[in-house]
Amino acid sequence: MKRTKTRFEARGYQHQGVKSTETVAKTTARVERVSGVSSVGGRTLMAGALAFSMVGTAHDALAMGSLSAKPGTAAAPSSLEAGLPAKTFAIPEGPLDAAIKQFEAQSGIHVKTQLTPGVMAGFTTKGVTGTLPSGEALKLLLEGTGLQSRMEDEATIVVGLAAQEDITVTAKASMPLSQFTEELKDTPQTIAVVPQFIMQEQAVTTLRDSLRNVPGISLAAGEGGAQGDSLTIRGFTARNDIFLDGIRDFGSYYRDSFNYGQVEVLEGPAGIEFGRGSTGGVINQESKRPTDTKFVAGTVQLGTDVTRRFTLDVNKPLGEVMGGGTAFRLNLMGNLSNVAGRDVVVNRRFGVAPSLSFGMGTRTRGTLSYVHLGENDIPDYGIPWLLNRPSAAVRSAYYGFKHSNFLNTHDDIVTFRLDHDVNEHVSLRSITRFANYPRNTQITEPQICSNGAISPTTGKILAPTNILNSAQLCPYNNGVASDPATILVNRNQISVKSVESDLWQQDEAILHFKFLNIGHSMVFGLEGGREMSNPIRYTSTGVTPATLLNPNEDLPFMGTKVLNTVTHVAADSAGFFFVDTVHLGRYIDVTGGIRYDYFYTQQRQYTASTGLAPFYSRIDRKPSYRAAFVVKPNSHGSVYFDYGTSFNPSAESLSLSATTSVLPPEENETYEIGSKWEFLNEKLSLAGAIFRTEKDNARETSPANSTITVLAGNQVVKGAQVSVTGRLRNQFDILAGYAYLHSEVISSQYFPNAIGAPLANVPKQTFNVWLNRALAWRFTGGLGGNYVASRSASSTIPYVATAWTGTTPANAVVTATALKQVPGYWAFNGVVSRPITEKISLQVNVNNILNRYYIDQPHPSHLVPGAGRSALFGVNYKF
């Protein structure tokens, strides 16, 4: 087939909910059929989803593995197409938009294109000459472009991107987030994208599990008063740095993946684009949106861990409204599952996500979407610590109350997005969001009270304490001399009823222009809104303890629950940012940006014991900066330097106290040097970076008085990260990444013994790999694994007493200390799948193949083990 040069300007085009905000460079439009997949120019981007996958740069080639068209086949013509008369055509090689006009004149058939004029201007055609049916002539004009046609009526043909299952289209696309204007290879930051088809191969059902594909991330257990997803990125907590379609998703809930188009992780400086927080990076969940292709898809899954799960994804075009395409999409999910290797724990979830898009293929496009995710669990806070290590608890032991523990959440998120292309140089985007996150929970946290409240040194008096509630009686265990069978476990009750809400507006302008013959890609952004949190917390007394080796989960809850605090918090935020990428020729890009944030928080908290309701408030006005330099030696790679700042205000998680209300934000600086390269006709991507992030004036709470907090600590994380992704010969896909993190406390006022200790939940090494390959008899097999090195539980009180003299708390004296940490682990997973028909396939996943016992989510007060071995049997369908 003749090779045709094309410049695909994807600026402003939205298809299946993903916006390609800029780009594309000159690409080769040679179409190759590889296992039923058309790839244009080697680098692939899934048509209809623009779901390029990458870790570090791009997993673009992996998208090919998710397609199912038969080799050499084309879409069957409709009865309308088959009835089109033959005409004589003489259309020369040249721009596609001009060729389509000639086609209309010579055939007498009207052609409607679902792409904007700027996008159409990037395509070329090799033309068509001769007498042949009109439908066949148009297909020849579109050959090699990645576009397809369909009959709308007897006199109209519609041209648009091919259906996802038919073809893969090459386009040098940028992040779907409009804050990023360059293609991923030239973006000076480590960016990992986990696409939907990888999640489907791995049978991923949660945000947490999808993030296991990204090095440099480690999971943590839920906090005492705030449940939901908790994790660290490059050594710093990212609990408040989770976004949904570019807007902060701060609700305390466990996120399901049923409505994900992909998950993006931006590691390194992101304060300019996302505002407060973002010390180590941010996570963005990209939602599915309507497309112009009619389909019904989904899965049905049954598992040995009692999993019963179904998903349904229905998309229906509704025709044209006001000159543009309109489509409706509905995603449904139901999930009931236990946790392999753990008693009692139950996860029940239900989700519904309808969305409506209009103006598709025009200059003005809109999408109205709604997500409801409900959860009714018997939650798991795992096993207790014993001194400096996980206790010798039975792996399956549940220390809570089977009939009294619960976690209920009902999250509702409504979003309206509007995109408008003023012209080929200016695009506008506006998003309005209202979210409501009700939560009601009573969870048992198991504790063995044998550790001091302060960082101990030899000779220091040891006093037992309950970390979360010092007023509550906590059974004392003197050292390790006791028989484990006699050790008592305190059942600390965490009872919270809360409603969190968010009203947010985000507006952006994206500009591409030349000034003094120098190219600029510029983004202006303005956002703001109100976030609210209203937690009501209770305390319980008289709770019967459990024995370490034989807890009785069927015991009725006999404690007395009383009101502790009622809190009302409201935070008003506003931010303005500006980022400009200057193109100094084709080899050098220079990026600079600044953001200014206003963050005003007010809190009133009623305390039942005192009857007082003090009022606290705090205003932070803080700039953030970013500067980057990219050198592109050729079209296959780049080398970059990136510098950025961010800040963490005292009320970042919507909570204040008398001392934190007077404290300015923590400040962070990040330096990163990296490189991204593509090989084998852009089918293999390699990326690497070295970085350093330092947090100045870290908050520390006095161990002697929990009401006193100061800015007196400094922390640093230095590391390196590499990734490789792509498709090799024989349909062999690889996705792998490794991160090395060296973290330490470099100064501390209250905890001098902590200097030199690693930060909490920061493994020195993390590694992930996923390999997938076509096998004989139409089988496909995949195998992967994760390694997470040992992690400590706390950076402020890293050492605990491991030996002491004395027989009672009053006369105990510490004689030895040790670092409180969990061991590292390996976990392996596998999959085998096979199509039964063109529309139905079977899939079997085995997780934790070796049935390893490991701690998956550590917390200073409890530990959550990872799931044991389980098998999941699924049926995937698409009609």
Tell the residue number behind the tokens 């409009």, with chain if given: 178
Task: Report the pLDDT value the prediction gives residue 178, as an integer from 0 to 100.
Answer: 77
Q: CATH 3.55.50.30: does it fit domain 86-161?
A: yes
d(CA 388, CA 799): 8
CB atoms under 10 Å from CB of 637, counted, come to 19
> Who's near 351: CB < 8 A, 6+ residues apart?
256, 258, 259, 331, 332, 333, 334, 371, 372, 373, 374
Q: Which residues of 470-488 are buried (b: 16+ CB within 10 A; e: fewer)?
A: eebebbbbbbeeeeeeebb
Angle at 831 between CA 825 and CA 837, to 5 degrees: 165
β partners of residue 45: 169
Q: What are phi and psi of 48, to 5 degrees?
A: 80, -25
Extract the tokens encoding 362: 């025009």
d(CA 719, CA 740): 5
CB 315 within 8 A of CB 290: yes
Extract the tokens encoding 320: 């044209």
Series of mean pLDDT values for 10-residue runs along the chain (879 residues): 33 33 32 29 31 35 33 42 77 86 88 70 81 86 81 80 42 59 89 90 95 94 81 93 94 95 90 90 95 94 97 94 88 97 96 96 94 96 90 92 96 97 93 97 88 47 39 50 77 94 96 93 96 95 90 93 95 96 94 97 93 93 96 94 95 92 95 94 91 94 82 94 87 92 94 89 96 92 96 83 65 75 96 94 97 94 95 96
Extract the tokens encoding 162: 């091919």
d(CA 590, CA 642): 10
Extract the tokens encoding 720: 């390196």
SS3 743: strand
- The contacts found for 458-465 with CB under 8 angstroms, 24 or more apart, are 458/814, 458/815, 458/816, 458/817, 459/813, 459/814, 460/813, 460/814, 461/812, 461/813, 461/814, 462/801, 462/804, 462/806, 462/809, 462/812, 462/813, 462/814, 463/809, 464/809
> Who's near 516: CB < 8 A, 6+ residues apart?
none
What residue spans of 295-370 are helical by DSSP H?
none
- What is the β-pairing status of strands 124-125 and 94-95? antiparallel
C-alpha separations of 358 from 46, 291, 631 in Å: 21, 10, 40
Task: Report the pLDDT value the prediction gives residue 432, as an integer from 0 to 100.
Answer: 98
DSSP secondary structure letter of residue 60:
G
Q: Which residues of 656-690 are buried (b: 16+ CB within 10 A; e: fewer)?
A: bbebbbebebbbbbbbbbbbbbbeeebbbbbbbbe
Angle at 204 between CA 200 and CA 207, to 5 degrees: 125
Rounded to two decimals, the pTM is 0.82
d(CA 793, CA 878): 45
In the chain, list all ranges with CATH 2.40.170.20.
295-878
CB 241 within 8 A of CB 278: yes
CATH topology of domain 295-878: Maltoporin; Chain A (2.40.170)
DSSP secondary structure letter of residue 269:
-
d(CA 330, CA 328): 7
SS3 81: helix
State the Cα torsion 753-756-761-764 to the nearest 10°. Answer: -150
- What is the β-pairing status of strands 156-161 and 385-386? unpaired
β partners of residue 505: 432, 528
d(CA 792, CA 762): 7
CATH topology of domain 191-287: Ferric Hydroxamate Uptake Protein; Chain A, domain 1 (2.170.130)
Which contiguous run of DSSP H or E holds residue 104?
A: helix 96-107
β partners of residue 817: 801
In the chain, list all ranges with CATH 3.55.50.30.
86-161
Extract the tokens encoding 263: 């998950």
- In 3D, which of 609, 109, 161, 540 has the Cα closest to residue 361? 161
CB 423 within 8 A of CB 509: no
In the chain, list all ranges with CATH 2.170.130.10.
191-287
β partners of residue 412: 372, 436
SS3 184: helix
C-alpha separations of 259 from 195, 330, 371, 600 in Å: 12, 9, 8, 33
d(CA 215, CA 238): 14
